[in-house]
Amino acid sequence: MCHADDSLPPLPPVSGGARDVGDFILTSADGTRFNAYYAHPDQPTKKAMVVLPDVRGLHHFYKDLARRFADAGMHSVGIDYFGRTAGLTERGEDFEFRTHVAQMTPETTSADIAAAVEWLRSPEGGGAESVFTVGFCMGGAVSWAQSATGLGLSGCVGFYGVPSRVVERIPDMTAPLLLLVAGQDFTPLEEFEKFSAALAEAGVEHEMQVYPDAPHSFFDRGYEVHKEACDDAWRRILAFVDRESA
């Protein structure tokens, strides 16, 4: 798994606050209902973020992160991946996530993300005009892959993703990517460098930032030693959003 049950996302450079937050249920195109969590900023904006969790699905780290994106001035939605196989249950420490991850498909995952994007573009979701995705661990690769799904996204951000899981999608990518790489991750840095080179060769707009001393899951408020990397990652995400927004 990625972030532990007691992990908390680092705080962004706050530009406001979250005025309206809560759990709700989204419905995918095939009728599947799945858990989600929304947060709206207290100031008007046309920017939005879909938060894509690690292998355990939607738990408190990602709900908190959705609120932090609202604090930073974006409508946001965190989604759960397992509506088809685990229903609308909570994701505790004892959740057998591997069984459900094995049943995920790129098509159904993108359909669920599409439901979140559609909601954010609706009046209820804030009427967003520029929608981004951000993912962690498994969700990092899932986020990058959404560049190739035709959702009209403004950009796709990924932490700790595995490039081999998405490299075959490069020819179809249209949305810019932001790659936030932990230098001490399980995935060798050389894989990210090859991924970046392949993106460049295909003409896919992207930015890659490596944090040489950072481990997997460094984006955590409890890692005071990696605070500088966390702060820089927030700055890069928000600059990417501002640069790529409609």
**Do the domain assignments include residue 3?**
no
Give the chain's mean pLDDT: 94
CA distance 80 to 34: 6
- Whether 239 maps to a domain, the answer reads yes
Residue 46 falls within a domain, yes or no? yes
Give the per-residue pLDDT at 238. 97
11 within some domain: no
How many degrees, rounded to 5, is the angle at CA 28 between CA 36 and CA 242?
Answer: 60
Which pLDDT score, from 0 to 100, does residue 56 have? 87
Could you report the per-residue pLDDT of 86-109, keeping only the tens digit for each? 999 877 778 899 999 999 999 999
Has residue 64 been placed in a domain? Answer: yes
- Does residue 12 fall inside a structural domain? no
Q: Domain tally for the chain?
A: 1
Read off the pTM.
0.95
Q: Distance between CA 148 and CA 166 in Å, rounded? A: 10
Domain coverage including residue 142: 18-244
- Flag the least confident range among 4-18, 97-111, 145-159: 4-18
- Residue 1 clears pLDDT 60, i.e. is over it: no
Query: Angle at Cα 145 formed by Cα 194 and Cα 7, nearest 5°?
Result: 90
CB 219 within 8 A of CB 2: no
pLDDT band at 224 (very low <50, low <70, confident <90, very high): confident
In a domain, 1, yes or no: no
Supply the CATH number for residue 89's domain.
3.40.50.1820
With respect to residue 8, please indicate whether it lies within any of the assigned structural domains: no
Give me the mean pLDDT over the 59-63 stretch: 92
Average pLDDT over residues 50-65: 94
Please name the amino acid found at residue 67: R
pLDDT at 6 over 70: no
For 103-131, how does the pLDDT look when each residue is reduced to its tens digit (9 = 90+)?
Answer: 999 999 999 999 999 999 999 999 999 99
